[in-house]
Amino acid sequence: MQHFITLFFVSFSFFLCSQSGIITGRVFNETNNEPIPFANVVVSELGIGAVSDIDGNYKIEGIDPGVYTIRSSCVGFEELIFAEVTVTISRTLRLDFPLSEKSTVSNEVVVQATPFRRNDESPVSLRTLNATEIERYPGANRDVSRVVQALPGVAQVPAFRNDIIIRGGSPGENKFYLDDIEVPNINHFATQGSSGGPVGLLNVNFIREVDFYAGAFPANRANGLSSVLSFKQKRGNDEALITSFTVGSSDFGLTFDGPIGKKANFIFSVRTSYLQLLFKALRLPFLPQYTDSQYKIDIDLNQKNRLTFIGLGAIDNFRLNESVNDGVTDEETLKRNTYLLNNLAINEQWNYTVGAKWTHFSKNSYQTVVVSRNMLKNTAVRYLNNIQTPENQLLDYASFEAENKFRFEHDWKKNGWKINAGFGYEYARYNNNTFNIVSIGNQLLQIDYQSDLRLSKGSMFGQVSKSFFNDRFNTSFGLRTDVSDYSSEMTNPLNQLAPILSLSYRLTEKWAISGNLGRYHQLPAYTILGFRDNDGNLVNRNNNLRYISVNHAVLGIEYISKWNGRFSVEGFYKVYDRYPFSLRDSISLANIGGDFGVVGNEAVSSTSKGRSVGGEFLYQQKLIKGFYGLLAYTFVRSEFQNKVGEYVPSAWDSRHILSMSVGKSFKKGWDIGVRWRYSGGAPYTPYDIQTSSLQQVWDVNGRGVFDYNQLNGRRLGSFHQLDIRVDKKFFFPRWSLNFYLDIQNVYNYQAELTPILTVVRDENGQPVVDPNNPNAYLTEQLTNYTGTVLPTIGIIIEFTAKKKSKEG
């Protein structure tokens, strides 16, 4: 393989062409979309640039392929910088500059432009990643969810999962927006009632940048508890059709983008996995398969009106590899495979989101109207000992969630004042058909119900921001409320009133201190809202289910260096109230959500309380002289009440989280990156072995029953991993090639997971009865580790069609 790779690179080097890249775009006023003529646009590293024409358009030619910092400035406007922009010769790069008018005119230079975005509404807990950073990140394989795990406050997950766990909160506390359109989940094989999954759903070819809020959410996005991820997608190419072919770690795909007439452009992709083939070759007991599609269409109706359409959809199938034990002789492997085959459900899932956004620009403001629809269909079946007959069925689950959404926003800006105000309405339908046999203690319970819930939801929000003292002191106050007709308590807007206050003071050009106080609310999952008993009663409405609430307090200090580096330190404190508490298991649902299946399909009460406290350090180095890097450390202590009201560590109480990455971009398209991450061991709950071993209990569950009297009473060992990525790019006049090698877990660290409790089986695979208790099986615990060296060879090929002439 080493000789092949060397020969591959050397052979292609002979065909490299000495062509140059082009950057084009438009400079305009971000508030009213008016063109800004005579603005300077400069490539910092090369010292070359252009001046925008009367329509705000510019064009820079003669750029060698590579990664650059591009800046735009004009008298009366704030300078804007885009760092780490990748230029190729196979396509013209379009880079638009929406400039903001200066609120004051002064000879004193208080704030200099930096590649790090500042936001009055969210002066703390906001990080931005661009497309170049996402694509090259070691160990992520171009998966946005895994790249986010490198940021401060985000837990490192050793298992094959993309759960986003922020500052001690559960994976179900996150909200996602794609071009301002809300998307329920961004992963394949989504955990219903939560937000995780093993594989990312978003195609990174679409992503221009990602804004990640770990706190200080703006009022128009303040409907989550732990984080908001706002994805901004690229526009399609305006000049010619471009086709990209990608082979990655688990799938291959095609992406097309190009013009539609003179005023519109599009991007469209389709991907399908070969993961099931890989898992079968590795003799794993489960075979996941997925397909997804994504599109975006931009239409510039005129200078004052713009339309955007997006779509995102996936089909996921999860089946068992029933022949996995054929020919296996290792006893430990046989035990694990048999345990999983008897435990896992056969799952099928599909989902989609479609939406449209209309933006209208006025003199000092713009209005946004968003309409969208999203739907999730989720089915699962499970049988006793995996014998698929009606009498052996333990689970037959089918549900769907459908939401129709409308949102209006008005943004106004003048004389240093910024106002955002709006409202939203949602109509949702949730349907559930559940047959499930479960155990409560040593007793069996049959759940058999149908639910059809129709729900209306509304929101109102507003935020006012103002800068003082030559932009040294920035203030922002927001207010939001959410309502639902689920119950009388949820209909009262005062019960969900959410005030938000952000303050920031810039001590010098480089130093700033900022803080935020905010209260946020989130509606419990539909699986909770729509749960019924066998008589058809909405159990949780009768239990006075409420919106979950959390209070955030964040204080931070930031230093921006002259070499494009950012240092920041933040402390945070979160207090949860009205969290759903399981009446069956007597635990807070804040402790679950990081596994497959369904969260919340049970009776709960809104009585759980929790808290999370910690601090973060971040050093982020943008590209300078070919080097870039990121160092993030988090200390977090997360606790929720147990069934007797005592605060105990939550399942996300990792304490120490560290992520370090460094990279170097070389000439001729080479890039090398290294990432090392560490996480303290997470708590877990030991098994109730006596109850688990009972024959009727084990036959129903197929796994150990946890002893919630010892909730999170034990802790796993720490986790750490080293990832390396090498990229080599080749550029040709009408096509380009990116060849990368990504190696995860280079030194093959074996991370400890929760032990497996299983039953002892005889030579025929049947459970062995305990000789001391004829009603129970003999049990044993298996150590449970995950980790293997995982190399991936990826190829990205991009073709550009011949540009049409002006006459043709």
Structure confidence at residue 276 (pLDDT): 81
Q: What are 292-332's pLDDT values in tens digits?
A: 999 999 999 999 999 999 999 999 998 888 888 888 788 88
Q: CATH 2.60.40.1120: does it fit domain 14-102?
A: yes
**Contact assessment for residue 763 and residue 755, using Cβ atoms and an 8 Å cutoff:** no
At residue 775, does pLDDT exceed 60?
A: yes
pLDDT at 17: 42
3-class state of residue 698 by DSSP: helix
**Choice among 129-133, 292-296, 492-496, 636-640 with the minimum mean pLDDT:** 129-133
Residue 469's contacts (CB-CB under 8 Å, 6 or more residues apart) are none
Domain ranges of the chain: 14-102
β-strand pairing of 21-29 with 57-63: antiparallel
Q: pLDDT, tens digit, for every residue of 591-643?
A: 987 777 788 899 999 999 999 999 999 999 998 888 999 999 999 999 999 99
Say what the pLDDT of residue 668 is.
Answer: 83
Model confidence at 7, pLDDT cuts 50, 70, 90, reads: very low
Between residues 804 and 748, the one the model is more confident about = 748
Q: What is the SS3 assignment for 451?
A: strand
- Which of 180-184, 195-199, 473-477 has the least mean pLDDT? 195-199
State the pLDDT at residue 1. 44
| Nearest Cα to Cα of residue 147 among 788, 742, 563 | 742
* Residue-averaged pLDDT of the chain: 90
What is this structure's pTM?
Answer: 0.93
Higher pLDDT, 102 or 634: 634
Structure tokens at 274: 């070969």
Question: Is 504's pLDDT higher than 80?
Answer: yes
Among 475, 478, 474, smallest CA distance to 218 is for 478
Classified as helix, coil or strand, 626 is coil
| Listed residue (147, 256, 1) closest to 793, CA to CA | 1
Interval 638-663 mean pLDDT = 95
Burial class of residue 802 (count of CB atoms within 10 Å of its CB; 0-12, 13-18, 19+): exposed
pLDDT band at 287 (very low <50, low <70, confident <90, very high): confident
Among positive and negative, which fits the CA dihedral 322, 327, 329, 330? negative
The answer to whether 239 touches 220, Cβ cutoff 8 Å, is: no
Distance (Å, whole) CA 116 – CA 569: 15
Q: What percent of the chain has pLDDT over 90?
A: 68
Choice among 152-161, 359-368, 462-471 with the minimum mean pLDDT: 152-161
How far is C-alpha 39 from the chain's CA centre?
36
Q: Measured between alpha carbons, how far is 429 from 690 in angstroms, rounded to an integer?
A: 42
Q: How confident is the model at residue 484 (pLDDT cuts 50, 70, 90)?
A: very high
- pLDDT, residue 122, reads 92
Q: Supply the pLDDT for residue 705.
A: 93
Q: How far is CA 263 from the centre of its chain?
A: 32
- The share of the chain scoring above pLDDT 70, in percent, equals 95
pLDDT(55) > 90: yes
Q: Which two tokens stand for residue 148?
A: 């986010």
**Higher pLDDT among residues 786 and 671, named by residue:** 671
